[in-house]
Amino acid sequence: MTIKIGTRGSQLALWQAYHVQDLLKQNGAEAEIVTIETKGDKILDVTIAKIGSKGVFTEEIEEQLKDGRIDIAVHSAKDMQSTLPEGFELIAFGEREKSHDVLVSHKTIGLDQWDLVLGTSSTRRLAFLQKHYPHVKTVPVRGNLQTRIKKMKDGACDALWLAYAGAHRMAFDDMIVHEFDPTQFVPAVGQGSIAIEVYESLDQTKRNLVRKAVNHVQTEKCLIAERSFLKKMDGGCSIPVFGLATIENDVLTLSGGIISLDGKTTIEKSCCSTTNAAQKVGETLGEYILENGGREILEEIRIHQSN
């Protein structure tokens, strides 16, 4: 049996696809990797928010899933919109790497520097920066990780604000100069995990094999909670919504919220549940955030992004 894996063509995306390929081989299945260029890969001169947050890195891949050219798609879970198009679903989540954010640089820097320039295009990170380090300047830096590091070294910025998982998987650990506390700088929903997307017509035998080979049950429970929260917030990757679930002694704790673009207003809360109530706890947290000021922040953000 051969399973065709669709993926973006960046080195990080390919790392993820080869990782899934290895897991499948360990379970007796051959796998072929097909690289696909997405809108988010082609348009690098504007922020993701300006392109549109839904399907920026997935739309072209989903076309090939639907027509059967590929069997599964491997994504960074944080790139996945909260509501998938009809007929598509996520059937497995790979074991999560550490989920926190880091700064990567080729020189010694400190967040207390008044002339510091950080490279990031993330609305969540920009908002957190406004809240905690408003003196720090930022520039949007798009492209794959290697491209962004080259831009940094060429003088575009002093450091890049990245997910630890990507920096670690691309072996840039020696360039990490600061690690953000995930309780203060809560990561994006799904950060640190890979997600397997399929179309409803996929053969059940392949579906079962992929899930058996790739899915990490504890990670799945956490991401069900986080994505349920994101869906309730109607969030995409251009909205500064954050959420992180953890499990200890069969108790799932979900911490999440939303922050205004200027960093002045943060609505956040933690909720606990059993692991079997992961979806419900996400919905409960989302309802709380919306009812306690989150709805107004979302409206302000959408007005701002439409101008």
In angstroms, the Cα distances linking 85 to 50, 55, 59, 65 are 21, 9, 9, 12
Count, residues in the chain: 307
d(CA 166, CA 61): 21
Tally DSSP H helices, then E strands, for the chain: 11, 13
If DSSP codes are grouped into helix, strand and coil, which group holds residue 254? strand
d(CA 246, CA 265): 25
d(CA 204, CA 266): 44
The answer to whether residue 173 is catalytic is no
What superfamily in CATH does domain 101-179 come from?
A: Periplasmic binding protein-like II (3.40.190.10)
Residue 180, pLDDT score = 97
Residue 44, pLDDT score = 46
If DSSP codes are grouped into helix, strand and coil, which group holds residue 274? strand
Among candidate residues 41, 79, 101, 158, the one labeled active-site is 79
H/E stretch holding 150 reads: helix 145-153
pLDDT tens, N- to C-terminus, the chain (307 residues)? 899 999 999 999 999 999 999 999 999 999 999 999 876 555 444 444 444 544 566 888 999 999 999 999 999 999 888 889 999 999 999 999 999 999 999 999 999 999 999 999 899 999 999 999 999 999 999 888 999 999 999 999 999 999 999 999 999 999 999 999 999 999 999 999 999 999 999 999 999 999 999 999 999 999 999 999 999 998 666 789 999 999 999 999 999 999 999 999 999 999 999 999 999 999 999 999 999 999 999 999 888 877 7
Comparing CA positions, the residue from 181, 193, 186, 190 lying closest to residue 255 is 186
